[in-house]
Structure 1
Amino acid sequence: MPDPGRLELAEFYFKEGHRLQTDGDLDGAIAAYQRSIELYPTAEAHTFLGWAYSFQGQIDEAIKQCEVAIRIDPEFGNPYNDIGVYLIEKGEYDEAIPWLEKAMVAKRYEPRHYPYMNMGRILVRKGKYEEAARELKKALDIEPNYAAARIELHKIFGLLN
C-alpha cells in the first residue's frame, strides 16, 4: 500500500507539471513530472513526461517514457496513441499503425477518437484516401464535434472528387 502522503505529493507534482507544460515551461514541467515519478510512478506521469519531451523534439525519449507507462499500466491507452503519433512525426508510418490499433482497443483511454484521426493521417500520407475517410468517420462517430477530423475528411473528399 503506497504511503498516502507520497501519493498526494506525487499527484501535486503531476498537476504542477501539467500546469507548467500548459504555460510553456517545458523544463519546469519535466522536472515536476520527474519528481512525481520519484514519489510514485504512474502511467500518466510517464506519458505526460514523454509528451513534454516530444515538445522539445526528444522523440526517442518520449517513446521510452510511453513504453514505461505501458509496462506500469497496459490498459492505459494514451501512451499507445502517443507512440503512434511520435512514429508518425519520424515518418515511420507502418511502425505507428500497431500502436494506434492498440490505443483503439485499450480499456482505459480518453479521448478515444484520437487514434482514429491519427490512423487517418497515416492513410492519407500513404494515398489510401477511402480507408482514411473510414477512419476519420469513426473518429466523428465517437466525437461528432471533432473539427480536425471533419476538416481532414473534407480535404479527402476534395481529393476523391
Structure 2
Amino acid sequence: MNIQDFVQQGEGLQEDKMTAWDLFQQAYDHQMKGKLDEAIKLYQRSIDTFPTAEAHTFLGWTYSFMGQLHEAIEECHRAIATDPDFGNPYNDIGAYLIELDQLDEAIPWLEKATKAKRYESPAFPHMNLGRIYEKQGDWDHAIDCYKTAVTLNPKYESAKRAMMRLITLMN
C-alpha cells in the first residue's frame, strides 16, 4: 500500500488522513518488530483519526499474531464495512477460519477475496483455497487453485511446492 491509496479513501481532511497514515506506518513498524501491544495502540489511533480498511485489517493481523483470532475476524469485518472492495480482509477471515479448522466456513470468504476489486496479492486466496481442498482430499481442485496462485504470482514458491507435491503424489 502507498500513501496515495491511503489518502484517496473516503471523505475527510487531508491533514487527518496524513496523520492516520503516519500512525499506520508507525504501527506497522512496531508490529514487524514484535511490539504488538504498541502496534495495537497505534493502529487504533490511526483508525480514530481516519478509519481505513487497511488499518482495520492490519490491526486484525496483529491480533492474529497474538492468537486472538476472533478479534482479528472482527477487525476484518470492520475493514469490509469501511471498504468492501479491499480484498485483504476477505482472505484474512478465510485464513483465520482455516486456523480455527472451520474449512467450509472459510471457502466463501476466500472466494470473495478472489473477486475483490482492490487487492495487491490476489494469489493468496487461491493458495488458501488450495490448502482447504487439499485437507478435504479434493486434490484436483487443490491443484487448480495452486496453479492459479502461481499464474497470478510466478514467484510464489510455496504455491509451486504445494502444486508439485500433489502432482507427484497423484502419479
Give the structure-2-normalised TM-score: 0.92
Distance 1:156 1:26 in 2: 37
Q: Which residue is equivalent to 1:15? A: 25
Q: Which amino acid letter does the alignment assign opposite residue 68 of structure 1?
A: R
Q: Secondary structure at the match of 1:158?
A: helix
Q: Distance in 2 between matches of 1:124 and 1:5?
A: 48
1:134 aligned residue? 144
CA distance in 1, matches of 2:68, 2:168: 35
Q: 1:70 aligns with which of 74, 80, 95?
A: 80
Aligned-partner SS, 2:117: coil
State, as a whole percentage, how many aligned pairs show the same letter. 50
Structure 2: state its 5+ residue gaps: 1-10
Q: CA deviation at 1:154?
A: 1.8
Q: Say if 2:43 is the partner of 1:51.
A: no
**TM-score, normalised to structure 1's length?**
0.97
Deviations 1:78-126 (A, max 9, x none): 0000000000000000000000000000100110100000000000100
Q: What CA RMSD, in Å, does the superposition of the two structures yield over aligned residues?
A: 0.8
Aligned: 1:107 with 2:113: no
Of 97, 100, 122, the residue aligned with 2:132 is 122
Q: CA deviation at 1:23?
A: 1.1
Match of 2:105 among 95, 99, 117: 95
One-letter amino acid of the counterpart of residue 21, structure 2: E
How many residues in Structure 1 have an aligned counterpart in Structure 2?
161
Partner of 1:85: 95
Q: Which runs of 4+ in 1 moved over 4 A?
A: none
Aligned equivalents of 2:15, 2:47: Cα separation in 1: 14
Cα offset for 1:136?
A: 0.3
Select which of 135, 145, 149 maps to 2:155. Answer: 145
* Aligned counterpart, 1:26: 36
After superposing the two structures, state which structure 1 stretch, 19-28 or 92-101, moved more.
19-28
The separation in 1 between residues aligned to 2:48 and 2:57, in whole angstroms, is: 14
Counterpart Cα distance in 1 of 2:135 and 2:65: 22
